[in-house]
Amino acid sequence: MKKTAKSKPSASKATSVKKAAAKKTAAKKTAAKKTAAKKTAVKKTAVKKTAVKKTAAKKTAAKKTAVKKTAAKKASKAPAKKIATNASAGGSFPTSLVEIMADHWKFVDAWFAENDSENYRPELPEKREDTSAALADWEREYGEAFEDSLRAHFGGGFAHPSRSFMEYTLLELPLARDRWRGLNELVEEGAFKKAKPRALDKKDDQIRFVWWSRGFIPVAEDGGGNLICADMDPGPGGTLGQIIKWEKTEGPLGPLSADLGEYLVDYRNDLEDGTLAFDESGFLERRKQRAKGTTTEEALFAAVEAGDAATVSRLLAADKKLLDVRNQYDEPLIIPAMQKKHTDVVRAYLDAGVDANTCGPGGRILGYAISAAAAGSVALLLERGAIPLVEKYGAPESIIADMLNGATFSDHAPEADYLSMLESLLRAGADPNVPWYGETPLMKAAQFGSMTLVKRLLEAGAKVDAVDEKGKDAAAHARSRRRKEVAAFLGGLAGR
């Protein structure tokens, strides 16, 4: 399916002018709105703490060009009917925008139907509900008409809990209005009187420096009560209807996009080109897109992904420069090989000359192998001279406790894998009593609740009576996590 999208904002004035021209043909917006949108696009690079925004800003020039061409082609076929402006509350919302948004949601719905195997959300109704009357009532209460794409969203009946933006579930109009009223009441009661936005810079004038504004119109909500809103009362440098986040502990942050229509277009494009995809745990995650390499580099990427050690060995032997090839996360390809648990591919890289203490952006590759619970790679790296130690803030910390921190058994990382990694680390000389942020490996194993790991650490010389900064020993850590069997066992050993 072709993308029916407008191009993303660019820092250069020439590109902005091209985008504005394409947008004019596609949406027929007023001159005032186009000027404001351009202003927002130029200022977007100033926004902080917005992962979605950062990804958008880093899109390649090739993708921008492709999106612009697609948008221009769509524009030439756009309905000739003029889009209604926000002249008065309760007026007709722009039907051409409704048609465009319907097309985008059709794609998004189909994408989730195909890719989300664990979708437990309610079914979409066969026909969109006409909520234009409820929208007009809300606009009268607010005092003015909403921004065009926001009106099309609510008035066109697209707001339904079966849909989402990432982890944010769309709010149906009555619930969105209820959230808005509730937060407005808290403002009137003085609940936010001393609250100051934590994610905004006072120098950035796109969003008003307030904790909550009556102009924040809720669109979607996550499980923690955080919201995606359309900002109907932006700062001097903002755009009417710009999309922002509002978090219960941070206040407003963003903007994420110039308006809801653009946000939906970006969302669709990211699903279509693979920037957004489900991870192995079933969560939708944002991924960087890798630039296409040479034919040989592409063959190497494919071989690493498939676990084809023979091809990897052949390619590396033929061209040692391939050892320097990195993925979109600036990681040497031995790292994704470990994360996929392709131990033979890891061996091929080590045989080709990669040092076992090579670093990725997050530290030595041994840490990556441990994080992936890639027991085979951990053993191999240690055999090839990897240092069994991690450093935090310049001080040595226990790599064993680091391995066990926050660990949970699963099909992906069963207890046997952790035991195997522990054996490899002990064999390489890792000290079972060096703490990690003040907690020893035995304390971590006790929290983990693994009797097998606890007993193996004790055999290796772990001290059962060691305490942390709060005076808690391993038995106390087990009790705090309700690991009753482990707590009783360690408690019986204490003091001996």
Residues 107 and 241 in one domain: yes
Which residues, 6+ apart, have CB-to-CB distance to 271 below 8 Å?
A: 107, 108, 111
**Could you tell me how far CA 325 lies from the centroid of its own chain?**
25
Region 312-321: what's the mean pLDDT? 96
Residues 59 and 107 in one domain: yes
CATH number reported for the structural domain that contains residue 25 in this entry: 3.40.1580.10
| Residue 472 φ/ψ, nearest 5 degrees | -90, 130
Flag whether 245 is in a domain. Answer: yes
Residues 275 and 342 in one domain: no
For the CA atoms of the chain, what is the radius of gyration?
27
Predicted pLDDT at 85: 35
Q: DSSP 3-state helix, strand, coil percentages of the chain (rounded to 5)?
A: 45, 10, 45
In contact, 372 and 378? CB cutoff 8 Å: no
Q: Taking the alpha carbons of 341, 345, 348, 353 in that order, is the dihedral positive or negative?
A: negative
Q: For residue range 161-191, what is the model confidence (pLDDT) as tens digits?
A: 999 998 899 999 999 999 999 999 999 999 9
Predicted pLDDT at 472: 94
Flag whether 125 is in a domain. Answer: yes
Flag whether 301 is in a domain. Answer: yes
Residues 484 and 411 in one domain: yes
Q: How far is Cα 342 from Cα 338, in angstroms, rounded to an integer?
A: 6
Q: Is 471 helix (H, G, I), strand (E, B) or coil?
A: coil
> Residue type for 135, please?
L
Which residues, 6+ apart, have CB-to-CB distance to 314 below 8 Å?
A: none
Domain ranges, residue 308:
295-493
Region 209-220: what's the mean pLDDT? 96
Q: For residue range 322-370, what is the model confidence (pLDDT) as tens digits?
A: 999 999 889 999 999 999 999 999 999 999 999 999 999 988 999 999 9
Burial, 265: exposed, middle or buried (Cβ in 10 Å; 0-12, 13-18, 19+)?
buried
Residues 52 and 152 in one domain: yes
Residues 256 and 302 in one domain: no
Rounded to whole angstroms, what are the CA distances from 280 to 135, 162, 411?
A: 40, 22, 12
Flag whether 5 is in a domain. Answer: no
Residues 72 and 27 in one domain: yes
CATH number reported for the structural domain that contains residue 373 in this entry: 1.25.40.20
| Residue 285 φ/ψ, nearest 5 degrees | -125, 155
Query: Which of 286, 306, 340 is the endpoint of a domain?
Result: 286
Residues 236 and 364 in one domain: no
Instruction: Say how many domains are in the chain.
Output: 2
Helix axes 295-306 and 309-318, enclosed angle (nearest 10): 150
Mean pLDDT of the chain: 80
Q: Which pTM was predicted?
A: 0.53
Query: Which of 286, 304, 327 is the endpoint of a domain?
Result: 286
Flag whether 47 is in a domain. Answer: yes
Residues 65 and 172 in one domain: yes
Residues 279 and 369 in one domain: no
Q: For residue range 289-313, what is the model confidence (pLDDT) as tens digits?
A: 788 899 999 999 999 999 999 999 9
Flag whether 8 is in a domain. Answer: no
Percentage of the chain exceeding pLDDT 70: 77
Flag whether 6 is in a domain. Answer: no
Say yes or no to pLDDT of 37 above 50.
no
Residues 275 and 302 in one domain: no
Flag whether 280 is in a domain. Answer: yes
Q: How far is Cα 42 from Cα 127, in angstroms, rounded to an integer?
A: 39
Predicted pLDDT at 62: 36
Query: Which of 254, 286, 318 is the endpoint of a domain?
Result: 286
Residues 266 and 192 in one domain: yes
